[in-house]
Structure 1
């Protein structure tokens, strides 16, 4: 009995650590095969155009120097976001999220799917699909701008009424 206790105390923590390390490796393999970095790049480029439209609010559009400055700052904005999203901290977070969402076995099954011809095609096409979706989504969101502007105006009025009534 004494030997069983020693075996359990000594082996269990190492077994758990080994299982956890294998689980993490499975999540890392999936993140690698999903080519998340390319998806991040597509997303960041879309955010650059959003940043450019924000900078454009402050410039005289007829002034080429100001327009050029806004474009330059949008690329600096993109660089900051890119460095953040590609950081080890964010990559570790992504791996952790996959690890928490799926068992090691599930991660291995998902990985196997993505290694199939259909999975490889999906990985190849997803960034292109995202790239095509972004201008459409940005255009659609811009069409919502008057509605969201009205909501902001109404919110400010309601907030002011609330503050006035509390005085």
Structure 2
């Protein structure tokens, strides 16, 4: 009897119009946010930026630039990822929160934040890479010490 009541309640909750409306509302708001953020252009710019960095780090890839760009545009294009981005944002924020974010991004300051975001992210990534590179010997020493400790204790060590 209790199982039947629980099953009925669960079915009623899952099939109620409100159960899907909020999700649809959040997804619509997430799609609007992506448009306001100009996500398609941001992604295209990110792919170009990523390719430039890859070619700077490995000039031997230069002859394959066109092939790699075709691949990234196919696999990482806005059109192929938009639905997944919508789900990510709709899962992370409520419809109300998404609308508040949209309102901010529609302001002059919000538009500036959108415009500056790729540059700031790139500078942050560059800072992180520079910091790791500057201190790589410390990491190597720590790994070596841990490998020795694991070896002494009979634990797993990398091959």
TM-score band (shorter)? 0.5 to 0.7
* CA distance, structure 1, for counterparts of residue 56 and residue 70 of structure 2: 13
* TM-score normalised over the length of structure 1: 0.61
SS at match of 2:16: helix
**Structure-2 residue corresponding to 1:22:** 25
The question of 1:111 aligning with 2:138 is answered no
**Structure-2 residue corresponding to 1:133:** 124
The question of 1:101 aligning with 2:104 is answered no
**Structure-2 residue corresponding to 1:149:** 140
* TM-score normalised over the length of structure 2: 0.64
Deviation per CA, 1:65-113: give whole Å up to 9, x if none. xxx4355578877876675544767544432232222211111111011
List gaps (5 residues or longer) in structure 2. 1-11
Question: For the Cα contact (< 8 Å) 1:22–1:104, is it kept in 2?
Answer: yes
Deviation per CA, 1:31-51: give whole Å up to 9, x if none. 332244526853884587479
Distance 1:155 1:71, change over 3 A: farther
The question of 1:158 aligning with 2:149 is answered yes
Where do residues 5-20 of structure 1 align in structure 2 (5 Å cutoff)? 13-20=16-23
Report the more deviating stretch, 92-101 or 144-153: 92-101
* CA distance, structure 1, for counterparts of residue 78 and residue 50 of structure 2: 19
RMSD: 3.6
